[in-house]
Amino acid sequence: MTAVAARGLMRRLPYLLPLALFVILAGYFWIGLGKDPHEIPSPLIDKPVAAFSLAALEGRERGFTSQDLIGQVSLVNVFGSWCVACRIEHPFLMQIRREGLVPIYGIDWREKDRQAGPLWLAQHGDPYALVGDDPDSHAAIAFGVTGAPETFIVDAKGIIRYKQVGPITAEVWEQTLWPIIRRLQAG
Amino acid sequence: MSVEVGHFALILALFVAILQGSLPMLGAARGNASWMAVADQAALAQFLLVAIAFGCLMHAYVVSDFSVLNVASNSHSAKPLLYKIAGTWGNHEGSMLLWGLILVIFGAAVAAFGRNLPPGLRARALGVQAWIAIGFYLFILFTSNPFERLDPPPIDGNGLNPLLQDPGLAFHPPFLYLGYVGFSMAFSFAVAALIEGRVDASWARWVRPWTLAAWTFLTCGIALGSWWAYYELGWGGWWFWDPVENASLLPWLSGTALLHSAIVVEKRDALKGWTVFLAIVTFSLSLLGTFLVRSGVLTSVHAFAVDPERGVFILALLIIVIGGSFALFAWRGPQLPAGGLFRPVSREGGLLLNNLLLSTAAAAVLLGTLYPLLLEATTGDKVSVGAPFFNAVFLPLMAPLVAAMAIGPLLPWKRGDLGAALARLWLAALAAAGAVFLGWAVYDGRSAMGLLGFALAAWLFIGTLTDLARRIELHAVSPRTSLRRALGLPRAAWGMTLAHAGLAVAIAGMTASSVWKEERVQVMRVGDQVTIGGYAVTFAGAGTQPGPNYDALVGQFAIARPNGSPLAVLTAEKRYYPVENQDTTEAAIRSTVAGDLYAVIGEPQADGGYVTRLYFEPLVPWIWGGVGLMVLGGVVSLTDRRHRVGAPVRQRGRQPVAAGAGAE
Choice between B659 and A127, residue whose per-residue pLDDT is larger: A127
Of A22, A31, A41, the CB nearest to B322: A22
Quote the mean pLDDT of chain B. 86
The helix/strand/coil state of A108 is: strand
Give per-residue pLDDT as tens, B344-391. Answer: 888 889 999 999 999 999 999 999 888 877 777 777 666 677 788 888
Of A15, A26, A84, the CB nearest to B318: A26
Identify the bridge partners of residue B520 per DSSP, sorted by sequence position. B614
Beta carbons of B296 and A40 less than 8 Å apart: no
Give per-residue pLDDT as tens, A36-62. Answer: 555 555 667 888 888 888 888 888 888
Domain finish residue from B342, B364, B386: B364
Dist CA A179 CA A173 (whole Å): 8
Beta carbons of A30 and B297 less than 8 Å apart: no
Longest dimension (CA), chain A: 91
- Parse chain A into domains and list their residue ranges: 1-35, 53-186
Asked whether residue B211 falls in the same domain as residue B225, the answer is yes
Dist CA B277 CA B272 (whole Å): 9
Beta carbons of A33 and B327 less than 8 Å apart: no
Contact B239, B192 (CB under 8 A): no
Chain A contact set for B308 (CB, 8 A) = 33-34
Q: Which of B571, B564, B562 is nearest to B589 (CA)?
A: B571
Dist CA B316 CA A116 (whole Å): 53
Beta carbons of A33 and B273 less than 8 Å apart: no
Top mean-pLDDT range of A151-160, B312-321, B379-388: A151-160
Asked whether residue B400 falls in the same domain as residue B490, the answer is yes
Asked whether residue B38 falls in the same domain as residue B143, the answer is yes
Asked whether residue B270 falls in the same domain as residue B128, the answer is no
User: Is the model's pLDDT at B486 over the cut of 90?
Assistant: no
Contact B50, B104 (CB under 8 A): yes
Of B298, B330, B334, the CB nearest to A37: B298
Asked whether residue B118 falls in the same domain as residue B78, the answer is yes
User: Of A1-10, B144-153, B349-358, B408-417, where does mean pLDDT reach its minimum?
Assistant: A1-10
Contact B428, B459 (CB under 8 A): yes
B220 burial via Cβ count (<10 Å: 0-12, 13-18, 19+): buried
Give the helix/strand (H/E) hosting B567: strand B566-577
ipTM score assigned to the predicted complex: 0.79
Give per-residue pLDDT as tens, B592-607. Answer: 898 999 888 887 877 7
Chain B contact set for A43 (CB, 8 A) = none
Provide CB contacts within 8 A for B620, sequence distance 6+: B230, B238, B509, B513, B591, B595, B596
Give the mean pLDDT of A132-154. Answer: 85
Architecture of domain A53-186: 3-Layer(aba) Sandwich (3.40)
Quote the mean pLDDT of chain A. 83
B352 in any annotated domain: yes
Of B306, B323, B377, the CB nearest to A32: B377
Radius of gyration of chain A (CA): 24
Asked whether residue B138 falls in the same domain as residue B231, the answer is no
- Shortest alpha-carbon distance between residue A94 and chain B (Å): 21
Asked whether residue B81 falls in the same domain as residue B137, the answer is yes
Strand B595-604 and strand B610-618: the pairing is antiparallel
SS3 content of chain A, % helix, strand, coil (to 5): 45, 20, 35
Best residue in B374, B383, B384 to probe A by mutation, most A CBs within 10 Å? B374
Asked whether residue B359 falls in the same domain as residue B478, the answer is no
| CA atoms in the 13 A half-sphere facing the CB of B612 | 30
Task: Look up residue B307 and give its amino acid.
Answer: D
Dist CA B331 CA B662 (whole Å): 43
Tell me which chain B residue has its CA closest to the CA of residue A26. Answer: B319
List the end-to-end C-alpha distance of chain B, in Å, as a whole number: 48
Q: What is the DSSP letter of B474?
A: T
Q: Which domain holds residue B263?
A: 166-364
Best residue in B373, B382, B577 to probe A by mutation, most A CBs within 10 Å? B373
Asked whether residue B338 falls in the same domain as residue B405, the answer is no
Tell me which chain A residue has its CA closest to the CA of residue B307. Answer: A33
Cβ atoms within 10 Å of B475's Cβ, excluding its own: 10
B424 in any annotated domain: yes
Of A16, A29, A36, the CB nearest to B330: A16
The helix/strand/coil state of A61 is: coil
B482 burial via Cβ count (<10 Å: 0-12, 13-18, 19+): middle
User: Is the model's pLDDT at B250 over the cut of 50?
Assistant: yes
Contact B258, B210 (CB under 8 A): no
Domain finish residue from B133, B160, B187: B160
Dihedral of the CA atoms B292, B295, B298, B304 (nearest 10)? 90
